[in-house]
Amino acid sequence: MILGSTLFWSAILLLMVGISFGRMGPSFSRSNFSLPIILLGILLLIFNNSPIENPELDLLDSIHGFAPWFFVCSLGCFLVLRGSPIYWKVRYPQLFIGWIIILLSFYLFYEYYELPDNFLLVALFSSLGAILSLFLFILLVRFVENSIPLEDPAPELTEEEKDFVKKIISINIGVEEK
């Protein structure tokens, strides 16, 4: 029992470490280890054959109900974003396939997710909370942007500063100064 729970939390920890390594960007060599660590965490979650105790079992059941539609929806959103118009060029096959996959994810959501008895009430208050949060966020951003005074424009560079900038740029692009 304890081995299964330990393996479950180890898998969750490996997933979080892998995602964190991936967020470090290409300038850090740790980002190269991101994908293998994430795959190891996923494999540990999938192939954990040890019995799991109740709190972890409930969480694992939630993950099993959440994962199918979430990953299908993520793939659909990725395809829709890739197919969306960029510089007036639309990729229609990716766009249509993406929307079909997103609609499939709604079917998977209703197939794997058990709706509570008071679903409409929960959905109503969740929607109101999301709208209120968005409204307050917009008001806060507007307040902060309006409360910051405008700064005076920076003064023009002196001749000495211009020569210094020219020297740095010419060194960086490999052109000799004249």
Residue 124 has pLDDT above 80, yes or no: yes
Q: Residue 45 CB: number of other CB atoms within 10 A? A: 19
Inside any domain, residue 128: yes
pLDDT at 78 over 80: yes
Our CA dihedral for 15, 18, 22, 28, rounded to 10 degrees, sits at: 160
Q: Choose the final residue of a domain: 52, 77, 94.
A: 52
55 or 177: whose pLDDT is higher?
55
Considering its fold, how many domains does the chain have in total?
3
Q: Are residues 105 and 142 in the same domain?
A: no
Same domain, 107 and 127: no
The SS3 of residue 155 is: coil
The type of residue at 45 is L
Q: What is the mean pLDDT of residues 115-141?
A: 86
106 in the same domain as 128: no
Whether residue 170 is contained in a domain is answered as no
**pLDDT over threshold 90, residue 88:** no
Q: What is the pLDDT of residues 154-174, one digit of tens each?
A: 888 899 998 999 888 888 887
How does the average pLDDT of the chain come out, rounded? Answer: 84
In a domain, 161, yes or no: no
For the stretch 63-72, pLDDT in tens is 777 778 888 8
Does 168 map to a domain?
no
Q: 5 with 47, same domain?
A: yes
Within a domain: 16:
yes
pLDDT at 100: 93
Q: Is residue 133 part of a domain?
A: yes
**pLDDT exceeds cutoff 60 at 8:** yes
Domain presence at residue 173: no
Residue 57, in any domain of the structure: no
* Domain span holding position 91: 65-114
Same domain, 43 and 3: yes
Q: Which amino acid, 6?
A: T
The number of beta carbons lying within 10 Å of the beta carbon of residue 99 is 15
Nearest-angstrom CA–CA distance, 73 and 83: 15
My answer on whether 104 and 129 are in the same domain is no
Which pLDDT score is estimated for 60?
Answer: 80
**pLDDT of 178 higher than 60:** no
| Per-residue pLDDT, 25 | 65
The yes-or-no verdict on residue 91 having pLDDT over 60 is yes
The mean per-residue pLDDT over the stretch 85-96 comes to: 82
Percent of the residues in the chain that have a pLDDT greater than 90, as a whole number: 15
Residues 4 and 42 in one domain: yes
Question: What is the pLDDT, as a whole number, of residue 75?
Answer: 92
Going by pLDDT thresholds of 50, 70 and 90, the confidence category of residue 109 is confident
